[in-house]
Amino acid sequence: MMSCSSSSSGSEDECMNSYRRGGYHAVRIGDKFSGGRYIAQRKLGWGQFSTVWLVYDSQTSNYVALKIQKSAREFAQSAIHEIEVVSALTKHDPENKKCVIRLVDHFKHRGPNGQHFCMVFEFLGNSILQLIKYNRYKGLPLNKVRDICRCILTALDYLHRQLGIIHTDLKPENILLVSTINPSNDPIRSKTIPILSKPEGGMYNGGGYVVNPIEKKLKQRARRAVARITARRASLGGVRPVTTRDRCLDGIDFRCKVVDFGNACWANRPLADEIQTRQYRAPEVILQSGYSHSADMWSFACTAFELATGEMMFAPKSGQSFSEDEAHLALMMEMLGKMPRKIAIGGLRSKDYFDRYGDLKRIRRLKHCPLTCLLTEKYKFCMNDARDFADFLIPILDFVPEKRPTAHQCLQHPWLNKSSEFSVQNLDSQMSKLQVK
């Protein structure tokens, strides 16, 4: 599902075939929603279930993000669930201190493709994934990693301890900066004049104004051709890739919020056996041995590693004789050591991967590389930084879910409380200053 980010998701446009009965609602710049209160400005992004638009709230004179769900019954049910969860998050955080996205409004909108549930959220900035990409996958300075981790853990502590909610899909895409990396993408900082009526002329589709389809295809082909030529020259040593230069991170606000609660559940009411995006999936989820709040903590550790290194902690690929799941378990054990036999054989799917001794059935030779060694040898951390960071992460990556520290305990860890631009003590005051734009 698409979050209320300031940029689109992976591919450039959603499938136009999905603009049909039960699918997306086609939006044009200047379209009005909820009795004319919200006016569409531009598309922010899209996902499997919805499109997200920057809209102007004519009632409050603020810019907000409008998430328009597909109209089919299964998507409507998903929207009802998400509204229930985010309403609780907003209700119990009146001072805006808990680092979770705020729900502004929700309503139904009827269009040619059916009735769509709509959610209005505060407008936030880029995702942490986009920040990683902006930094050219080089890994952020550890002080910045601490600042982001502190916000994520504040959100998880609120979800887990106060509300009893499991996010179930924590990952860089679902963590948004409170403001955009590029000020020109922020309608307030760029002093954008709101569009209050539909522009005259031009062609429109679900993504707003476009040129005619033939011209668009020609431009896409030209871009791909240029990219192929550049890649070929670079492979021959003729062109030095631009990505070798460092990005300037000055001026970026590293405060962030956890978003996208469409798959969240209450701990006593799990919704699905398989949760989490592959690379951030906990071992107990793979083995189907039950999960709780500690599954979110595993995903958090994977995210923290990715922030610090620019690369995913676990990116498994299937082979001729083994599945992606078994490869994933092997990668875990190469870094963290052998999984305790009781855990390895204790899940509904354990027999698919492990023998009765707790050894993998099809992957016998593991290349052990502890986290500290990986950080120093591959990512060139100094030994002290590697040891301190590993000391923070390794307990969270315990194969025994009950042994993992809680978000509240992690917030007290010495690594997280080293010198930084803002401390744990003043995080509350920093977040409470945020206002819905």
Domain boundaries of the chain, sorted by first residue? 1-123+182-198, 203-244
Mean pLDDT (the chain, rounded): 88
Say which of 31, 57, 169, 186 is annotated catalytic.
169
Question: 200-219, pLDDT tens digit by residue?
Answer: 754 454 444 443 445 555 55
Query: Rounded to whole angstroms, what are the CA distances from 7 to 63, 155, 369, 382?
Result: 15, 22, 37, 35
8 Å CB contact between 361 and 354: yes
Whole-number pLDDT of residue 1: 39
pLDDT band of 421, cuts 50, 70, 90:
very low
169 classed as catalytic: yes
Question: 89-139, pLDDT tens digit by residue?
Answer: 999 999 999 999 999 999 999 999 999 999 999 999 999 999 999 999 999
pLDDT at 18 over 90: no
Whole-number pLDDT of residue 271: 83
Question: Residue 51: in which H helix or E strand, if any?
Answer: strand 50-57
C-alpha to C-alpha distance for 421 and 136, rounded to whole angstroms? 23
- Per-residue pLDDT averaged across 76-82, rounded? 94
Work out the percent of the chain whose per-residue pLDDT is above 70. 83
Burial class (CB in 10 A: 0-12, 13-18, 19+), 72: middle
Report CA dihedral (45, 50, 56, 57) to the nearest 10 degrees.
-150
Question: 42-62, pLDDT tens digit by residue?
Answer: 999 998 899 999 999 999 999
Whole-number pLDDT of residue 233: 53
| Known binding positions for ATP | 67
8 Å CB contact between 2 and 207: no
Whole-number pLDDT of residue 16: 80
- Per-residue pLDDT averaged across 5-11, rounded? 45
8 Å CB contact between 80 and 100: no
8 Å CB contact between 277 and 260: no
Query: Rounded to whole angstroms, what are the CA distances from 362 to 136, 286, 322, 328, 352?
Result: 36, 16, 6, 12, 10
- Positive/negative CA dihedral, 305, 311, 317, 322: negative
pLDDT at 382 over 50: yes
- Of 185, 175, 64, 180, the closest CA to residue 122 belongs to 64
Name the residue with higher pLDDT: 240 or 205.
Answer: 205
| Known binding positions | 67
Whole-number pLDDT of residue 174: 97
In this structure, which topology does domain 1-123+182-198 adopt according to CATH? Phosphorylase Kinase; domain 1 (3.30.200)
Question: 180-204, pLDDT tens digit by residue?
Answer: 999 999 999 999 999 998 887 544 5
Whole-number pLDDT of residue 222: 65
C-alpha to C-alpha distance for 177 and 153, rounded to whole angstroms? 15
Whole-number pLDDT of residue 122: 98
pLDDT at 248 over 70: yes
Query: Rounded to whole angstroms, what are the CA distances from 182 to 112, 142, 246?
Result: 36, 22, 16
